[in-house]
Amino acid sequence: MASEKQAALQEATRVLQYILKDELTEDDKNRIVKDSIENFNEHVNPGWLTYRKSVSTDEAFVEWEDSQETFKDTHGKEFIDCLGGFGIYTAGHRNPEIVAAVQAQLNRYALHSQELVDPLRGYLAKLVSMCTPGDLKYAFFCNGGAEANEMALKLARLASGNHYFISTVNGFHGKSLGAVSATGKGTYRKPYLPIIQGVQHVEFGNAQAAEAAIKNLIAVGETVAAMIVEPIQGEAGIVLPPQDYLKQLREICDRYGVLLIFDEIQTGMGRTGTLWACEAYDVVPDILVFGKAFGGGVMPITGIIARPHLWVDELKDNPWILGSPTFGGNPLACAAAIAAIKFMIENDIPSQIAQKGEYFMDKLQGLQARHPILVDVRGKGLLIGLEYPTPEIGWAVSKGLFKRGVMTGGTLNNAKVNRIEPPGIISYETIDVIIARLDETLTEVAREF
């Protein structure tokens, strides 16, 4: 055992040298690539590299550094980021203002004692209340998106005293047990069946289907706590709702005493051209869930904010009953989120995204007119989906773009729709480069198929 610990010490020392070095040698670079493949196969998941989202089937690319619109591998090959970590990098990679805030907090203290009052969590909660619509007031911070949706579902049951949830087919809310129960894709649900009962799925975009489900449950003696929905379905393939869908859901939920939860983990923080997607549809939910870009692309932080009447006496009497994540709302993450909110509002990033999204969509529709294999172009802001006739063609386009130094991605488990989700600070010049490389790729893939 002593020898194993000594070996671990030597390995940790070696890896830290890579992290602390200003420049890697060629031997370092080659060793890191070799180690990465071995470590993923032997200690992470043997299937991960086979499935990996980077469409580099010919050689391994190991992500090592990034800056604003791009990232580089260990050998310095640069990629334009057109995927954005599925929505993380709205403020750009390593945004200097956000990094500076986190570094300043790190130099003061990193995590909180859990007993004294941590001021940044309070400041951040107030800011979220100030920049979200309607009377949303009380916030709760977590670490990951699934955890935030778990908190939203728990709060809805706790505050309403009711049980059932309505969700949507193909909706995605995470992979923890409660979140995957609300998720509407069999791929994620089947391995864990039977899962948490009391979730009924209805067609996205069909408000009448939601009302029928609620009415039928009540008619047979059940109670409905909440409906959870993405304002725009992301993982399903960038599916936009009818313009009046969310308003209809609000009216239906009010009519039957059902809480309305908007999962804005991906659509929030400016991604669709307004700070929150629900603002464009003029609807206020009872609970709004946020994440991904909320930490400014620097720190992981997610959470929920709810209307004041949901903070019932049971929550006030026992503040820990909803949850107590050790690292939820930690000082470093809160510093990042505070800086991200400031950057978004001060630079009016949502409006920039709306304008860049229109420019991008216009260029993409021009490509669609010239390339029949590009079946559809749809989206809002810089959340854009490109649909192809088959997953194989979509995968080939992703691979062709990757070869040309542009990272995009098929929506998870289905490459029929490629997701275009670049940093919100992307320049028009970079958009033009992406369009030119996509044009070349579409011509190449059309010949191949």
What is the per-residue pLDDT across 229-260, written as a single tens digit (0 to 9) for each? 999 999 888 999 999 999 999 999 999 999 99
- The reply to whether 383 and 297 lie within a common domain is no
Same domain, 262 and 232: yes
Determine the average pLDDT of the residues in 125-148.
96
Side-chain half-sphere exposure of 19, counting CA atoms within 13 A = 6
Same domain, 193 and 308: yes
- Mean of per-residue pLDDT scores for the chain: 91
pLDDT band at residue 129 under the 50/70/90 scheme: very high
List own/partner pairs for 388-396 with CB under 8 A and 24 or more apart: 388/415, 388/416, 388/417, 388/418, 389/416, 390/416, 391/415, 391/416, 392/449, 393/445, 393/449, 394/418, 395/55, 396/445, 396/448, 396/449
Would residue 65 count as lying in a domain?
A: no
* Statement: residue 187 has pLDDT above 80: no
Which three-class secondary structure string do you get for 140-208?
Answer: EEECCHHHHHHHHHHHHHHHHCCCEEEEECCCCCCCCHHHHHHCCCHHHHHHHCCCCCCEEEECCCCHH
Residue 191 has pLDDT above 90, yes or no: no
Check residue 58 and give its pLDDT: 55
Q: Which of 365, 360, 362 is nearest to 387 (CA)?
A: 365
Question: Has residue 54 got a pLDDT over 50?
Answer: no
Give the Cα separation of 420 and 376 in Å (integer): 13
Q: In this structure, are 359 and 320 located in the same domain?
A: no
- Shared domain for 136 and 114, answered yes or no, is yes
Task: Identify whether residues 412 and 444 lie together within a single domain.
Answer: yes
Residue 405: inside a domain, yes or no?
Answer: yes
Q: List Cβ neighbours of 310 (8 Å cut-off, separation of 6 or more).
A: 138, 155, 156, 159, 259, 286, 287
Q: How far is CA 310 from the centre of its chain?
A: 25
Q: Which residue has the higher pLDDT, 86 or 186?
A: 86
CATH at 277: 3.40.640.10
The residue among 382, 312, 311, 319 whose CA lies nearest residue 351 is: 382
Q: How many angstroms separate the CA atoms of 268 and 281, rounded?
A: 13
Q: What's the mean pLDDT in 3-14?
A: 92
Q: Does 284 share its domain with 173?
A: yes
pLDDT tier at 50, thresholds 50, 70, 90 = low
CATH of residue 395:
3.90.1150.10
Task: Express each pLDDT in 61-85 by its tens digit.
Answer: 888 899 899 998 888 899 999 988 8
Q: In the prediction, which pLDDT does 185 show?
A: 61
Task: Say yes or no: 274 and 259 in one domain.
Answer: yes
Whole-number pLDDT of residue 64: 87
- Would you place residue 420 in the very low, low, confident or very high pLDDT band (cuts 50, 70, 90)? very high
User: Is residue 9 in some structural domain?
Assistant: no
**Whether residue 338 is found in the same domain as residue 356:** no
Would 66 be classed as within a structural domain?
no
Contact assessment for residue 227 and residue 261, using Cβ atoms and an 8 Å cutoff: yes
Task: Give buried/exposed letters for 249-268 (b at 16+ CB in 10 A, else e).
Answer: bbebbeeeebbbbbbbbbbb
In the chain, the percentage of residues whose pLDDT exceeds 70 is 91
Mean pLDDT throughout 123-149? Answer: 96
Residue 219: predicted pLDDT: 95
User: Of 326, 346, 366, which closes a domain?
Assistant: 346
Q: What is the pLDDT of residues 326-343, one digit of tens each?
A: 899 999 999 999 999 999
Domain that holds residue 261: 98-346
Over 306-334, what HEC string results?
Answer: ECHHHCCHHHHHCCCCCCCCCCCCCHHHH
**pLDDT value, residue 56:** 57
Please state the rounded mean pLDDT for residues 18-44. 88
Q: Is 70 exceeded by the pLDDT of residue 411?
A: no
Q: Decide if 198 contacts 166 (C-beta within 8 A).
A: no
> Strands 199-202, 414-420: parallel, antiparallel or unpaired by DSSP?
unpaired
pLDDT in tens, 86-101: 899 999 999 999 999 9
196 vs 138, higher pLDDT: 138
Count how many domains the chain has.
Answer: 2
Kindly state whether residues 362 and 214 are assigned to the same domain.
no
> Of 329, 346, 363, which residue is a domain's last?
346
Pair 135, 224 in one domain: yes
Boundary residue ending a domain (287, 313, 346)? 346
Q: How many residues does the chain have?
A: 449
